[in-house]
Amino acid sequence: MLKIIKISLVSILTLGIFFLGFSVVLAGDYGLKDLAARAELASRDNAKNVPIQNTIGNVIGAALSLIAVLFFFLMVYGGYLWIISKGNSEQSKKATETIFAAIIGLLVILGSYALTNFIFTTVK
């Protein structure tokens, strides 16, 4: 168990160090005003002109992105549990339940999004 924790910690730290350099390199070429202009950040004046539907759509898009990341991690976790089960039927069952629950959750979220999108495009 201690070996697994050490390997996991080293992997996370290695990936963290690997991805840490990207943000520094990408932000190095621009000043803050240039960066804000390139990102097209809303000022107080044009924030009033943005329809609420766009804001809600952006929030839903961000939430769906987070759900996709959560689904990915649950699938990796379930696969990891399945690999290290070593024939232990109880742990193998837990792994398959985790994978199954992640897939069902993703299908429910995607189905609700598709239904909502269909209803709102039909109503327009």
* Of 10 and 46, the one with more pLDDT: 10
71-115 pLDDT, tens digit each: 999 999 999 999 998 888 899 999 999 999 999 988 988 888 888
| CA 122 to each of CA 9, 20, 66, 118: distance values in angstroms, whole numbers, following the listed order | 49, 44, 27, 6
Nearest to 116 by CA among 45, 41, 64: 64
Question: What span, in angstroms and rounded, lies between the C-alpha atoms of 67 and 106?
Answer: 8
Same domain, 116 and 63: yes
| CA 24 to each of CA 28, 41, 110, 113: distance values in angstroms, whole numbers, following the listed order | 6, 20, 35, 35
Same domain, 5 and 66: no
Question: What span, in angstroms and rounded, lies between the C-alpha atoms of 122 and 110?
Answer: 18
Task: Look up the domain containing 5 and give its range.
Answer: 1-41
**Domain contains 36:** yes
Same domain, 66 and 108: yes
Same domain, 35 and 60: no
13-72 pLDDT, tens digit each: 777 766 666 555 555 555 666 666 666 655 555 556 777 777 777 788 888 888 888 999
Same domain, 73 and 121: yes
Same domain, 95 and 69: yes
Same domain, 78 and 20: no
| CA 114 to each of CA 53, 56, 111, 117, 119: distance values in angstroms, whole numbers, following the listed order | 17, 16, 5, 5, 9
Same domain, 70 and 114: yes
Total domains in the chain come to 2
37: Cα separation from own chain's centroid: 26
Same domain, 79 and 123: yes
| CA 44 to each of CA 14, 41, 55, 81, 87: distance values in angstroms, whole numbers, following the listed order | 41, 10, 15, 49, 60
Same domain, 115 and 62: yes
Q: Are 26 and 71 in contact (CB under 8 A)?
A: no
Same domain, 10 and 58: no
Q: Looking at residue 75, what is its pLDDT? A: 92
Same domain, 28 and 84: no
